[in-house]
């Protein structure tokens, strides 16, 4: 059986990046086209909750919805609440049961192991988004990147590089000498050289 990725480092890294986001940056751009940093923070808040439910297979009543991306929905205490949800997300995916059977996230039914890999990829890629939007360094572990590439590369190939609605846009060319992280970022439809100053 393939070892389960540990979402803890990616969740802690995301929490650290968000802790340093000043209010003045929330209206600024991100590598996610048309999404402000505040909207991205709201999206991370929602996906942390949704994928915790997915791991536990314990869902609120009512129809499942994709995580929102709306800065107006951010609670005043989001700097405390979002890291707490990220901690809960990582803890939930440490259970072997989370990776078994079927679950759902964002209105989609999918196998538990696939949901776990989506959650890991969301943390890694959106962590890069936040780091670029705020001009912060981004140091990701080799194993984390490899786990994401193993999940993303076949999906991109299957889509013919056209992207997967709700997950990521059409792949871009990262260049022959690109790092593993830059290749991952490019596969998800982002320009690895993106900076807030050049956007």
Average pLDDT, the chain: 90
Residue 164 token pair: 């997967």
Torsion of CA 21, 128, 12, 7, to 10 degrees: 150
Report d(CA 71, CA 37) in Å as an integer: 8
Residue 141 token pair: 């572990």
Residue 66 token pair: 């994709």
Neighbouring C-beta atoms of residue 74, cutoff 10 Å: 17
The H or E element that residue 125 is part of is: helix 112-134
* Residue 173 domain flag: yes
Residue 199 has pLDDT above 70, yes or no: no
Report d(CA 67, CA 106) in Å as an integer: 6
Over residues 138-168, the pLDDT tens digits come to: 999 999 999 999 989 888 787 776 766 666 7
* Residue 167 domain flag: yes
* Residue 111 domain flag: yes
120 closest CA partner among 150, 96, 85, 144: 144
State the pLDDT at residue 56. 96
Report d(CA 193, CA 156) in Å as an integer: 20
* Residue 198 domain flag: no
* Residue 16 domain flag: yes
Q: Count of domains in the chain?
A: 1
* Residue 118 domain flag: yes
Domain hosting residue 123, numbered range = 8-59+77-95+106-187
């Amino acid at each position: 059986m393939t070892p389960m990725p540990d979402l803890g480092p990616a969740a802690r890294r995301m929490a650290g990046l968000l802790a340093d986001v000043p209010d003045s940056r929330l209206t600024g751009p991100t590598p996610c086209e048309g999404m402000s940093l505040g909207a991205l923070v709201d999206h991370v808040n929602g996906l942390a909750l949704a994928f915790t439910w997915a791991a536990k297979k314990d869902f609120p009543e009512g129809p499942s919805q994709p995580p929102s991306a709306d800065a107006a929905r951010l609670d005043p205490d989001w700097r405390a609440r979002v890291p707490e949800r990220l901690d809960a997300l990582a803890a939930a995916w440490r259970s072997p049961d989370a990776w078994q059977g079927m679950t759902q996230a964002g209105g989609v039914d999918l196998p538990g192991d696939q949901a776990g890999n989506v959650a890991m990829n969301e943390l890694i890629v959106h962590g890069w988004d936040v780091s670029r939007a705020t001009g912060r360094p981004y140091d990701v572990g080799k194993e984390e990147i490899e786990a994401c590439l193993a999940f993303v590369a076949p999906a991109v190939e299957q889509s013919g590089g056209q992207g997967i609605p709700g997950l990521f846009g059409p792949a871009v060319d990262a260049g022959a000498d690109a790092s593993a992280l830059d290749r991952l970022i490019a596969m998800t439809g982002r320009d690895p050289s993106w900076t807030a100053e050049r956007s």
